[in-house]
Structure 1
Amino acid sequence: MLQLLYLPVLTSLLLFYFRLAVQFKIIDKPNQRSSHSRITIRGGGIIFPIAILLQALFSGFQYPLFTSGLLLISVVSFYDDLRPLSNKIRLFVHLLSGCLLFMQAGLMAYPVWVIIPVYILVIGTINAYNFMDGINGITGAYSLITILSLYFINETQFVFVFSEWLIIVAISLLVFNFFNFRKKAKCFAGDVGSVSMAFIVIFFLLLLILKSQDLKYIGLLLFYGLDTVSTIIFRLIRKENIFEAHRSHFYQYLANIKGWPHLMVATLYMVVQLMVNILILYSDWNAVTFLVFIMVSGFIFIGLRFAVEGRSNLMGRELVDGQISK
C-alpha cells in the first residue's frame, strides 16, 4: 500500500519540476540533429533518481553506496542538461559513481582482470543508453520492460534485490511515460534521465548476474546493445568520429528518414526486447549457447539494417573491384 502512494507523490513532484523548468527555461529547442520539432521541457527523467532517493529514505538506506553513486552521477548529468560540461569531468564522475556501484554490489572482491572489463562495459552501457534516448517514448518504454522483467525474475526465480526498489522504479517510469510516451511529448528524459536510468538498470542487472552467476541476463539489454554496437562499427567504417553527436542509429533512421511515428519505433524496440527477455527467462543456456545466440542475433540485426537502410547509407562508400573507393 505504501508503494501505491508513490504514484501521486511522484506525479506531483514531476509536475512541480515542470513549473520550475518553464520558469528557468530548462527546455529543449529543436536543431538539425533533433528528432522532434517543438520546444519541450528537458530533464523530466529527474524523477528517476528522486524515486530512488525516496525509496532509500523509507527503507533506511538499504543500498547507501548505490544511492550515493546515483545521486552523484545524476547531479552532474542534470548540470550537463543545463550547460556544456567538460568530458573529463563527466568521465571522472562516471568512474567514481561506478566505483560506488561496484562496492555496493560486491564486485570489488573479484580479481582486477574481471573488474576492469566490467568497468569498461558499464561506462559504455551508460553512454549507449544516453545515445539511445533520441525519440519520444523509447527510454521509458524500453526501461519499463527491463525493470518488469527483473521484477518477474526476482519474484518467481530467485531473489537478488528487495522488490520494493524495482517497484518504485517501475512507478517512476509509468509517471514519466505518461508525459513522454506521446506524439507530442510534454517532457524529455534529458541526460539526467537516461544516464540515471542506465545506472539503475546496471545496478540491478549486476546484482542479478552476480547472484545467479549467469551472464545470459546481459541479454535483457540486447536490442539496445545491437543498435549501439552496430552503429559504432558502421561509423568506424565510414571513418567518422564516434564521440561526436550523430543520427546514425537504426531507431533514428526509422524515425527521421523512413518517417515512422516515434511511438511506433519505441513500441517496436519494447516488443522485440520483451520477446528476447521471454526467451532468456525460459531458456537453459550455457555460456557457449548464449554466445552463439548473441552472434546470430548480431548477424540478423546487421542484415536487417542492410535491407532497410541500404549498403550505401551504412558504408558510405562503394566497393570497386574489391577495393574501397570514396
Structure 2
Amino acid sequence: MGPQALIALAFVAFVSASAGTWLARRYALARRLVDAPGERRSHAVPTPRGGGIAIVATMLGALAWTAWRAAAPWTALAALAGLALVAGIGWVDDHRPLSPWSRLGVHVVAAALLAAALIHAGQPAWWAAAVFALAVGLVNVWNFMDGIDGIATTQAMLAALAVLAVAGPWGASGTLAIALLAACGGFLPFNCPRARIFLGDVGSGSLGYLLAGLVAFASLEVGTPPAWALLFPLAPFLVDASLTLVSRMLRGERWWTPHVQHVYQRAVQAGHAHATVAGAYAVPALVAVALCGSLAGRGSPVIIGALVAWYLLIVSVWFAVRARLARRAASTSRMNSDA
C-alpha cells in the first residue's frame, strides 16, 4: 500500500469504528446490556458494554482486505476466522455469561488456527507453538486488564505502534497495525476519560487476539528475532496480569473469578483517576515502542537480553507500586477505624 492508500485506510477504520461504537451503544442500551457497579468492578455508574464489536467489525474488514490482496492469504484468513471465533464467544458472553472453560476452549481453537497458518507458511514449529501460547494468553490478559476506562484500548494502540516501529507500514502487519490504531482511536472517545460504553468481552479478548496476530504477521515479514521485540510493550499488562494471577492462586482463591486486585485496580481504589492510571501504564509501553525501534535490527542475543532486563524492571516496579498501595490502604483503614 502507498501512503495515500494507508491514509485512506486509517480514515475508513476510524470512521467505521466511531460509527459502529455509537450504534453498539444504542443497541446495548436497548437490550439492557449494562454493567452495574459492584465490589468486583472499578466503575461507579451503570455503563453499557459490547462497544468493542465496532473494532472487531472494522478489523474483520481489514483482514478480509489483506487476504484478498495477499499472494499467500492463508495467514490472514486464519486470523480472520480466529478473530471471528474469539469475538463470537465474547459477544455471546456479553449477552449471556458463559463458563470460563467454554470460552477458553474457543480461544484455544482460534490460537491453533493462527499457529497452523504459521506452519503452513514455513515457520518453525517452536515459533508456531509460541504464537499459539501468546494468542491464548493475550486474549485472556486483555480481558483481565480491561477494568478501567481507556487502559485496554491505549495499551493495544501502543502495541500496534510498536509493530510499525519493527516492521514498517508497508506490509500486511503494518497495514493491520494502522487499521487497529485507527479503529481503537475511533472507539477511545466513547471509553475515556469517562466511559459511555465498555469494550465488553467481545472487544477485550479480540484486542488480545489481534495483537498476537500482528506478532505472527510481523514474523513472516522481518523474521522471528525482530518479532520478539514486540513483547516489550506488552510487559505492563503481562506482568500485572500474571503476578496477580499467581498471587491469587497461592492464596487459594478462585482465581478464574472477577476481582479488583490488579495493581491498576488498586490504584483506582486508592483514589487515582482512571485516566491517570491508564496514562501511568502507557508510559512504559511508550518507552517500549522506542526500544522496539532501536532493537529491531539487532540479533537474537541482544533482543533476548534486553527483554529479560526490561521484564525484570517492570516486575520490580510492580512489586514496589503494589507495596506502596498496600501501605496506603492500610493507613486509610486505620484512620477510618480511629474515626
The equivalent of 2:229 in structure 1 is 216
1:245 partnered with 2:258: yes
In structure 1, which of residues 88, 91, 107 is the aligned counterpart of residue 104 of structure 2? Answer: 91
Q: What do you get for the CA RMSD once the two structures are aligned?
A: 2.6
1:138-287 aligned within 5 A? 138-155=151-168, 160-161=171-172, 163-182=174-193, 184-210=194-220, 211-214=222-225, 215-256=228-269, 258-283=270-295, 285-287=298-300
Tell me if structure 2 keeps the 8 A contact 1:48–1:193: yes
Q: CA deviation at 1:37?
A: 0.5
Tell me if structure 1 keeps the 8 A contact 2:17–2:183: yes
Please report the TM-score for the alignment, with normalisation by the length of structure 2: 0.82
Q: Secondary structure at the match of 1:38?
A: coil
Amino acid at match of 1:213: T
Q: Using the alignment, how far apart are the partners of 2:298 and 2:145 within structure 1? A: 28
Tell me if structure 1 keeps the 8 A contact 2:173–2:217: no
Amino acid at match of 2:289: N
The equivalent of 1:318 in structure 2 is none
Q: CA deviation at 1:91?
A: 2.1
Q: Using the alignment, how far apart are the partners of 1:245 and 1:223 within structure 2? A: 20
1:121 partnered with 2:131: no
1:59-78 aligned within 5 A? 61=68, 62=73, 63-78=76-91
Please report the TM-score for the alignment, with normalisation by the length of structure 1: 0.85
The equivalent of 1:37 in structure 2 is 44
Q: Using the alignment, how far apart are the partners of 1:67 and 1:53 within structure 2? A: 6
Using the TM superposition, name which of 106-115 and 71-80 deviates more.
106-115
Q: What do residues 268-317 of structure 1 show as CA deviations (whole Å, max 9, x unaligned)?
A: 11121110221232136544444443443444334334433329959xxx
Q: What do residues 41-67 of structure 1 show as CA deviations (whole Å, max 9, x unaligned)?
A: 101111121002222455564522211
Using the TM superposition, name which of 261-270 and 279-288 deviates more.
279-288
CA pair 30-243 structure 1, distance change in 2 beyond 3 A: same
CA pair 114-163 structure 1, distance change in 2 beyond 3 A: closer
Q: Unaligned 5+ residue runs, structure 2?
A: 1-6, 328-339
Using the TM superposition, name which of 121-130 and 296-305 deviates more.
296-305
CA pair 167-110 structure 1, distance change in 2 beyond 3 A: closer
Q: Secondary structure at the match of 2:172?
A: coil
CA pair 175-113 structure 1, distance change in 2 beyond 3 A: closer
Amino acid at match of 1:49: V
Q: Using the alignment, how far apart are the partners of 1:13 and 1:178 within structure 2? A: 13
Amino acid at match of 1:232: L
Amino acid at match of 2:249: L
Q: Percent identity?
A: 25
Amino acid at match of 1:171: A
Q: Using the alignment, how far apart are the partners of 1:123 and 1:8 within structure 2? A: 30
Q: Unaligned 5+ residue runs, structure 1?
A: 315-326
The equivalent of 1:25 in structure 2 is 32
The equivalent of 2:58 in structure 1 is 51
Count of residue pairs the alignment pairs up: 310
Q: What do residues 190-212 of structure 1 show as CA deviations (whole Å, max 9, x unaligned)?
A: 11111111111110112223432
